[in-house]
Amino acid sequence: NAGVMQNPRHLVRRRGQEARLRCSPMKGHSHVYWYRQLPEEGLKFMVYLQKENIIDESGMPKERFSAEFPKEGPSILRIQQVVRGDSAAYFCASSRTGGGLTAEAFFGQGTRLTVV
């Protein structure tokens, strides 16, 4: 049973380019969460999605960032026109449900984005 799969593991983008980060949840999990970890800080919640729905995007920057979790395929976190401050580790987590005992979130290994 594969865990949460994120790709790429490392991504280098020049300022102004677009970054696309992918996350395939664990089998049987329909809830996906994206977190960002800036250097020397803890993980910060960005967005919570279910299939084809954004449930909570309270942690997403208002501009340049978007996320989706289509009916088929992985969840995508998209950052347009990247800036140096976007350099961080981006972690995806998935859970079977959104509440109750089966809501424990399992994390992927992360994508380390470097903007040069």
Partner 1 sequence: DQQVKQNSPSLSVQEGRISILNCDYTNSMFDYFLWYKKYPAEGPTFLISISSIKDKNEDGRFTVFLNKSAKHLSLHIVPSQPGDSAVYFCAASTSTSYGKLTFGQGTILTVHP
Nearest CB to partner 1, comparing residues 33 and 65: 33
Shortest spacing between CB 27 and partner 1, in angstroms: 17
Nearest CB to partner 1, comparing residues 44 and 78: 44
Nearest CB to partner 1, comparing residues 14 and 100: 100
Tokens of 107: 């994390």
Rule CB under 8 A: which residues touch partner 1? 4, 6, 31, 33, 35, 41-45, 48, 55-56, 91, 93-95, 98-100, 103-110, 112
Interatomic CA distance for residues 92 and 106, integer angstroms: 8
Q: Provide the phi-psi class of 109: left if phi over 0, else alpha when psi is between -120 and 50, else beta.
A: alpha
- List the one residue out of 94, 88, 89 whose CA is nearest residue 106: 94
